[in-house]
Structure 1
Amino acid sequence: MRTKYFMKLATLCCVTLGLMACASAPQEPPVERDPRDSLEGFNRAMWELNYEVLDPGIVRPATVGYMKVVPTPARRGVDNFLTNLREPDSFVNATLQGKPSSMAITAGRFLVNSTIGVFGLFDVATKIGLQERREDFGQTLAVWGVGEGSFLMVPARGPSTVRDTGGDLVDAFYSPLGLFNTPLTITRYVLTGLTQREKAMSMEHLLEDSFDPYAFIREAYLQNRLYEIYDGNPPEQDDYDDSYLDEFF
């Protein structure tokens, strides 16, 4: 339900931005700026590079080819393997955040999936009730009180924030993923990108139907990160009934 609410909120923001654009003179730049996006000019340029050039020209065709050549069970195994490799850095960040429950779950998942799950190819842990609790250093910084900084659209990667981008760099140092040699590291990044792009295909129609795809992605990313930082229970901004949002869907 909360995920559905976030998607509704993000889409409503796009509708509002579209109506504002129609009501203003075409030659005038938007008066309102999202305070979370102080680098909007740069970010929109990077969005166009990612969304208009790199994705249709390289990423999506490669993903479609990957899906045609590699059977679904094998792709699922690759995704499980990559997810299992992230468990140690989730454990470290859960420790830094003082979350004993997440520490126990991530340690248990890594142990079960690395053994019974054959080096992580099979997600046995989820089937026995150990749901993934992804923790990263961006979340750790948030728990420590570090501000998120501006929203940031990273070339060839996608949405982030200044804080999350710095956190990703730290995760790369102590994660076992960072111990791979260069060819394996590149292979891992490519496979991760393909699996993530495959998952995103089910969301393509939301971008196509939105008035402002960039604003939609920005809002969805920021709301999702808030959801992750607070472990699914972000603070309520306002007490109001959002049922009226249904008219937009």
Structure 2
Amino acid sequence: MFKPIYSALIALTILSGCTSVPEEKKDERDPLQSINRPIYDFNMDVLDTYILRPAAQGYLAVTPTPVRAGLVNFTTNIAAPIDAVNAGLQGKPGDMGVNVARFLINSTVGVLGIFDVASNFGLEHKDEDFGQTLGVWGVGDGAYVMLPAMGPSTVRNVVGDVVDKVVLPEIALTTPQTLLIFALRAVEARASLMAQESLLKESLDPYVFMKDIYFQRQLYELHDGNPPVNEEPTDFDEDFLENL
């Protein structure tokens, strides 16, 4: 199912092979910028313009807010065991316990997770992923990469996403179910960004803006919302970070 993505990546790599990055725009975090920028343009000018944004607009038009909330709760609950495993691997037994409890409560009383009953008991969702786990273990970000159809990432988080979204889900879910969950999350995330998309369009360099926001988000998540003072990110919109 990944062949179209890799084909697009290869084609864009060939097309951008002779493109050089001006010295003043080089970024140590982004050694693949000459490849990443054409992929970013493809994502925004083609995939987002003609597929994802129209799909998100249609989704907002036909889906009542309570139904959207139920879908978000459902997809969050499906990922709770993965959150719990990663919390354990990061040495956070408390967060692991919260996620396990949330999954048990919401999967039963919450009707397969459609209703977030656990939050009413003070059990707030603890979002953890394998990319964060690798970061806690001391693995660096690696190069910044822009993936066709999937957006910004780093080498570390690509590995983390493969574990979180392919390896672990396939243990409990079928491939069609995994793809359905991925599609629901993608459309909901894009719909949630409608109000913030002007920030991207009005920035001097949207590519750099998205990259900086992405790294701020990684820092924010790695330190559970409390980054070190000397590394604290600049002002940002939390909704933008959460859905990027």
Scaled to the shorter chain, the TM-score interval is: 0.7 to 0.9
Give the conservation status (yes or no) of the 8 Å contact 2:169–2:178.
Answer: no
- Choose which of 189, 195, 217 in structure 2 pairs with 1:224: 217
Give the conservation status (yes or no) of the 8 Å contact 1:85–1:177.
Answer: no
1:211 aligns with 2:194: no
- The residue aligned with 1:185 is 178
- Choose which of 52, 61, 65 in structure 1 pairs with 2:45: 52
- Choose which of 172, 175, 187 in structure 2 pairs with 1:194: 187
How many residues of Structure 1 are paired with residues of Structure 2 in the alignment? 215
Give the conservation status (yes or no) of the 8 Å contact 1:88–1:176.
Answer: no
Give the conservation status (yes or no) of the 8 Å contact 2:110–2:116.
Answer: yes
Q: Distance in 2 between matches of 1:135 and 1:181?
A: 22
Give the conservation status (yes or no) of the 8 Å contact 2:106–2:117.
Answer: yes
The CA deviation at 1:112 is 1.7
Q: Distance in 2 between matches of 1:160 and 1:57?
A: 22
Computing the radius of gyration over CA atoms, which structure comes out larger, 1 or 2? 1
* 3-state DSSP of counterpart to 2:146: strand
Q: Which amino acid aligns with 1:184?
A: Q
1:89 aligns with 2:82: yes
* 3-state DSSP of counterpart to 1:237: helix
Q: Distance in 1 between matches of 2:30 and 2:62?
A: 40
| Unpaired runs of at least 5, structure 2 | 1-20, 236-244
- Choose which of 56, 59, 67 in structure 2 pairs with 1:66: 59
- The residue aligned with 1:127 is 120
Q: Distance in 1 between matches of 2:55 and 2:31?
A: 33
* Identity level (%): 48
Please identify runs of 4+ aligned residues in structure 1 that moved more than 6 A. Answer: none
- The residue aligned with 1:109 is 102
Give the aligned CA root-mean-square deviation in angstroms: 2.1
Question: Which digits, 9 at most, give the CA deviation of each residue in 1:39-63, with x for residues without a partner?
Answer: 1111111110111111011001011
Give the conservation status (yes or no) of the 8 Å contact 1:86–1:177.
Answer: no
Q: Distance in 2 between matches of 1:44 and 1:137?
A: 26
The CA deviation at 1:126 is 2.1
Q: TM-score, normalised by structure 2?
A: 0.82
Q: Which amino acid aligns with 2:207?
A: Y
- Choose which of 162, 173, 176 in structure 2 pairs with 1:169: 162
Q: Distance in 2 between matches of 1:219 and 1:107?
A: 33
Q: Which amino acid aligns with 1:44?
A: R
The CA deviation at 1:238 is 6.6
Q: Distance in 2 between matches of 1:127 and 1:154?
A: 38
The CA deviation at 1:222 is 0.6
* 3-state DSSP of counterpart to 1:31: helix
| Unpaired runs of at least 5, structure 1 | 1-27, 244-249
Superposition pairs for residues 232-247 of structure 1, below 5 Å? 232-237=225-230
C-alpha distance 183-32 of structure 1, shift in aligned 2 (>3 A): closer
Q: Distance in 2 between matches of 1:173 and 1:59?
A: 22
